[in-house]
Structure 1
Amino acid sequence: MLAGMKRYAQIADILVKHGFGIVVDELFPGLPGHNLKLGRGEESPSLSVYERIRLSIEELGPTFIKFGQILSTRRELFPPELIHELSRLQDQVPALPFPEMEAVLDETLPGWREAFLHIAPYPVAAASLSQVHRGVLADGTQVAVKIQRPGIDEVIETDLLILSSLAERIEVVLPDYRVFNPTGLVREFAGQIRKELDFTRDGKNAERIRRNMAEIGGIRVPRIHWNVSSRRILTMDYIEGVRIDDVESIMGMGHDPANIAERGFAAYIKQIAIDGFFHGDPHPGNLLVMANGDLAFLDFGFCMVLRPQRRETFIRLLAGIAGTDVEACISAFADLGVRVSDEDIELFRDDLYILLLDYSDYEVQQYDFSKMAIELSEILRKYQLQVPGELMRLLKVIGMVGEIALALDPSFCFTERIRPCLDELVKEQYFSYDALKREISTGVGSIRTLLRIPDQVTSALKKVSEGKVRIDVVAHDIRRLQETLDRSTDRIMVGLITSSVVIGSSLLLLASGLNIPNVQYIALFGYGAAVFVGIYAIIHAFRVSRRADLRWR
């Protein structure tokens, strides 16, 4: 409790320092010991409000920096000026002395001194959550050792409690800000940063992407050394290379930047659209080009997951964007839960069409998917639409990948490159073996539902006969109902048999690559029989219905 109050006081001091005394007065009423300055802030009198927000967040520490970085993906919620400043948040902090990091090694990895020949005392990278030191294992393997900063988990948990209470307070004191869903944003962020604190999850993410990328040549993902890793220590292969945006160094090593761009784009398309599990932080510091030309992925603390149904919807959305298909985009938005009111739908459709049309006319060197995504976000914000956070993060990731590809290859065109990929993925969705299995499952479910109808009607009639339901009918109505049920059951059986023949024939066609003689002829015969039975069933049903109608008139 005392630590929490002390942290509240620190936050208030920082906000006041940067000129947000009025905000402190609203959110911390009666906070003792603070002379609130309600002006612009003595230390930054000439800066804009958005710049002062960024400076405040950086000074507030790792939890708030991470939160600001997450908010920078929500372009549909906040003004572009604020998004720009949040995107500049730096997660660089002074390195801690190695003896403090040794304490973490001693606590979480007993016996590490025997496992390592050497760990460099000076880190190669220092961030708010961890430091990375170069090391050598007992067998001579060069490794990178990621060590969590001591006590950082306690700091983050305290800050999360404060952020949660602030979000609740904002929704009460400033009801106009409820549209931003502060409590929901904090809840989503809390789950993410807790995952990042678990380095075991980080390592598992790396292994999954390593497996998924195995079939793409020239992609490198570091190997995890689990025998010298723990929840707060992660040891992996040490990878040397230059940042992917360092075009001069890449060319100096004798590699074509355009090939690197093509390979990186293909890797991300596979991760997003096929695997449904992708590296969520593709800034240039996490993507290195090695001396042999391999593209290496680093830092897997933040990876995103897309369920198959979500992937299909995102693919349809991207296909709609690439193909200037407004209706496809709106349909995909609706499936994602983004629904435009009836009053705004036509205006929204017009704005979206103009945006897609404008970018479809751009020359190759002019097209910038990240800018298009920003303008799309502004349209969503204009209509105050509630958008899933995963959609905005996905668009940001694709935008960042597009920016890197364009920096490597100025002739790189996002739409020209992604359109054939999307066409192939759409075919995969609707014409693959997995798609056939889904359709078969759906068809079987529908047939089961139809077959339950007679039982349900029988149950209803039983209740009528027991006097539980009172309905006034005459005898010929009951007979007519019975005949209708008999005809319906016959049609269901015919439909079930026909469907079974079609499904079986389809499976035979899929098996035609197994060198089974004449299998395709058997399948075609099955299709012909199904067509014949279907036509006969339709004609027979029409005749029976006409006779029944004449009899009961």
Structure 2
Amino acid sequence: MRGPHNIWRLIRTGATLERTGAMGVVLDAYEAPPLLRAAARILGWPFQWLGDRGDPAMPPATRALTALGPAYIKFGQVLSTRPDLVGADLARQLRVLQDKLPPFGMDEARHAVEAELGRPLDEIYSEFSEPVAAASIAQVHHARLREDGREVAVKILRPGIERAFRRDVDAFYLAATLIEGLSSSFRRLHPSDVIEHFDGVVRAELDLRLEAAAASEFAANTEKDQGFRLPAVQWDLSSRRVMTMDWMDGVPMGDNVALDAAGHDRAVLGERVLQLFLNHALRDGYFHADMHQGNLKVGPDGTIIAYDFGIMGHIDEYTRRVYAEILYGFIRRDYRRVAEVHFEAGYVPADRDVDEFARALRAVGEPIFGMDATRISMGRLLSYLFEVTEKFGMETRTELILLQRTMVVVEGVARSLNPQINIWEIAQPIVQDYIGKNLGPRALARDLTRAAQVMARFGPRLPRLVEQALMRQVAEPKPLRPNRWRAAVIWATIGGAVGAALTLAIGLAG
């Protein structure tokens, strides 16, 4: 990880940042201390001639990352979802990174398909086009199956992309280690953890089987959603480096002129985009986290078609309930209840003042509600909310930052279709319906049933687990405080008794 090639890669990175003017932007965004600023300048300035110039028409940060190549482009896109780490201004700059590169050749594409699928390309496809889209990790071809004539999209990883990403990610880890050693103020941002998160995202995108699985799960969740479709995965023609999906024609979501010419109602489409996203996030807890115009089309019948499932967001059921109640509290302008929910969920430390927190939340909500309805933004509300909760000691939650970032993107898509759209008017019934189904008596009964099933399953094992724990404590006494140990035994024993009772109750009910 710390070989000379990684050091040389960091020198080239520093030189490119310096040459494009991005070094100062990055250091300012992180409020870098003097020692780190000096080290960065020393790393970059003497070697400027080694750095890439990039496209002068781009902002400095996007210009530098684009010049440095695919891994840096992808890293910038991941950081654009983390304004808590890079600041709102830099995150905004990074969102415009264009994940587009020149395509690789047809011979390489043919070789990749044949190596992965184990058959000659002409035996699988009767037609196979030049690339129709090319990004930093993969490119897509339009093809026709020889077997039944169906049109399909074939996504192929770039040759050698895994090795190229591995090299750059290793250099990122080295940079994170150096930064942590230089500045204690940077250690609180956990740069190594950020690189580890990025590494996980990239590893997932470099295995198209995982994207195919994400598409399949997303399709299963949304199969009953009116006006929404996903291309089906052709599993027998998909592998780690090649993925085949049905081809679905449609008008690009970002082309308003073409949408109007096709007779689509853009106001209806804007509402549907928002409704779909909110349902996926709240109802399913699994949402498309890259839902921009480039990944959306509109079919001839007005159906919204989604593509590219490399980045998906997940929110667990408990967190969904908490944030639905928070959003609903804001919709009703019940700031005291919003504050209480934060305390009940443990998001804000218990030693903080709930009334003071409620007043801070009012300062977030009232200016937004004072706006014209067409300017109200749920994404902006979440952004302000995170700022306030951070001041009151709430730790950053990565999945919610991704939710907020995607909400901003989806709202942007909706407003591009209909600038007069009223976000709250669309959101309120969805949030209210979710709360009715998941926070009322029916939800409590459902939760108790699940708890009973779990206890029934593990209840018979609890006495043995307690006995084993006691035996270990006798054999190897540990410095546990007596009251804590007694509490553990008491609760385990109670759990065993409850589990046995529930087992009997369920058995009798059956």
In 1, Cα distance between the equivalents of 2:454 and 2:336?
29
| 3-state SS, counterpart of residue 153 of structure 2 | strand
Equivalent of 2:338, from 329, 335, 339? 329
Cα 1:369–1:294 shift into 2, 3 Å: same
Tell me, yes or no, if structure 1 residue 152 matches structure 2 residue 165: no
Contact 2:74 2:136 in 1 (8 A): no
Shift of 1:154: 0.9
Query: Does 2:62 correspond to 1:35?
Result: no
Within a 5 Å distance, the mapping from 1:275-354 to structure 2 comes to 275-334=284-343, 338-339=347-348, 342=351, 348-354=357-363
- Say yes or no: does 1:359 pair with 2:368: yes
Q: How does 1:424-463 map to 2 (within 5 A)?
A: 424-431=433-440, 433=442, 435-440=444-449
Q: Judging changes above 3 Å, is the alpha-carbon distance between structure 1 residues 78 and 340 closer, same or farther for their aligned structure 2 residues?
A: farther
Q: In the aligned structure 1, how far is the partner of 2:346 from the partner of 2:71?
A: 29
Going from structure 1 to structure 2, the CA distance change for 1:172 and 1:324 (only over 3 Å counts) comes to farther
Contact kept? 1:144, 1:236, Cα under 8 Å: yes
Question: Does 1:63 pair with 2:76?
Answer: no
Distance 2:12 2:236 in 1: 40
Percent of aligned positions that are identical: 26
Match of 1:105 among 109, 113, 128: 113
> For the Cα contact (< 8 Å) 1:203–1:234, is it kept in 2?
yes
Per the TM alignment, residue 442 of structure 1 is displaced from its structure 2 partner at its CA by 5.5
Q: Once the 2 structures are TM-superposed, how far is the Cα of residue 301 of structure 1 from its aligned partner? A: 0.9
Whether 1:270 aligns to 2:283 is no
1:351 deviates by 3.0
State yes or no: 1:80 paired with 2:93.
Answer: no
More displaced stretch, 136-145 vs 237-246: 237-246
Deviation at 1:230, TM superposition (A): 0.9
Name the structure 1 match of 2:235: 226
Show the counterpart of 1:237. 246
| Partner Cα distance (1:171, 1:337) in 2 | 29
1:124 alignment partner, SS class: strand
Change (3 A) 1:427 1:2: same
> Residue by residue, what CA displacement relative to the aligned partner does 1:445-473 show, whole Å, maximum 9, x if unpaired?
99999xx9xxx9xxxxxxxxxxxxxxxxx
Opposite residue 407 of structure 1, the aligned amino acid is: S
Q: Cα deviation per residue 1:311-352 (whole Å; 9 max; x = unaligned)?
A: 222222322332323344344445666435856876554332
Q: Work out whether residues 291 and 406 of structure 2, in 8 Å CA contact, stay in contact via their aligned partners in 1.
A: yes
Instruction: Give the corresponding residue for 2:405.
Output: 396
The 1:322/1:335 distance shift into structure 2, 3 A limit, reads same
Return the alpha-carbon distance in structure 2 between the equivalents of residues 183 and 329 of structure 1. 34
- Structure-2 change in CA distance of 1:42 and 1:444 (3 Å): closer
**Aligned match for 1:212, one of 221, 224, 241:** 221
- Please give the alpha-carbon distance, in whole angstroms, between the structure 2 residues aligned to 1:310 and 1:277: 12
Shift of 1:150: 0.5
CA contact (8 A) 1:373 1:399 kept: no
What is the Cα deviation at residue 195 of structure 1?
0.7
Give me the whole-angstrom Cα distance separating, in 2, the residues matched to 1:83 and 1:189: 15
Encode CA deviations 1:21-65: one digit per residue, 9 max, x unaligned: 996972698x7x983469xx9969x99xx9423322222222222
Given the alignment, which residue of 188, 194, 199 partners 1:190?
199
CA distance in 2, matches of 1:373, 1:433: 28
Distance 1:377 1:197 in 2: 32
Stretch moving more, 241-250 or 269-278: 241-250
Distance 1:355 1:230, change over 3 A: same
Equivalent position of 1:251 in the other structure: 260
Q: 1:507-544 CA distances to partner (integer Å, 9 max, x unpaired)?
A: 9xxxxxxxxxxxxxxxxxxxxxxxxxxxxxxxxxxxxx
Distance 1:443 1:222, change over 3 A: closer
Question: How far apart, CA to CA, are the structure 1 residues paired with 2:142 and 2:451?
Answer: 54
Q: Which residue of 2 aligns with 1:481?
A: none
Structure 2: how far apart are the matches of 1:285 and 1:349?
40
AA aligned to 1:14 is T
Q: 1:232 Cα shift?
A: 0.7
Measured in 1, the distance between the counterparts of 2:345 and 2:175 equals 29
Which is worse superposed, 324-333 or 277-286?
Answer: 324-333
Residue 387 of structure 1: aligned partner: 396
> Are 2:160 and 1:127 equivalent residues in the alignment?
no
> Matched residue of 1:131: which SS?
strand
Distance, in Å, in 2 between the alignment partners of 1:5 and 1:78 is 24
SS in 1 for 2:297: strand
Closer, same or farther: CA 446–211 of 1 in aligned 2, 3 Å: closer
Question: Any conservation in 1 of the 2:279–2:430 contact (CA below 8 Å)?
Answer: no
Q: Give the CA deviation at 1:387.
A: 1.0
Which residue matches 1:26? 39
Please point out which of 14, 17, 20 is paired with 1:15: 17
**Change beyond 3 A, Cα 1:197–1:270:** same
Q: Which moved more, 1:71-80 or 1:419-428?
A: 71-80
DSSP-derived class of the 1:288 partner: strand
Q: Distance in 1 between matches of 2:80 and 2:355?
A: 29
In structure 2, C-alpha distance between the alignment counterparts of 1:222 and 1:270, rounded to whole Å: 20
Q: Does the CA contact (< 8 Å) of 2:348 and 2:389 recur in 1? A: no
**Secondary structure at the counterpart of residue 83 of structure 2:** coil
Q: Deviations over 1:206-250 (max 9, x none)?
A: 112222222122211001112221111111111222222333322
8 A contact 1:73–1:392 mirrored in 2:
yes
The answer as to whether partners of 1:76 and 1:381 remain within 8 angstroms in 2 is no
Alpha-carbon distance in 2 for matches of 1:246, 1:381: 39
1:538 paired residue number: none
8 Å Cα contact 1:336-1:388 kept in structure 2? no
Scaled by the length of structure 2, the TM-score of the pair is 0.78
Q: Post-superposition shift, 1:94?
A: 1.4
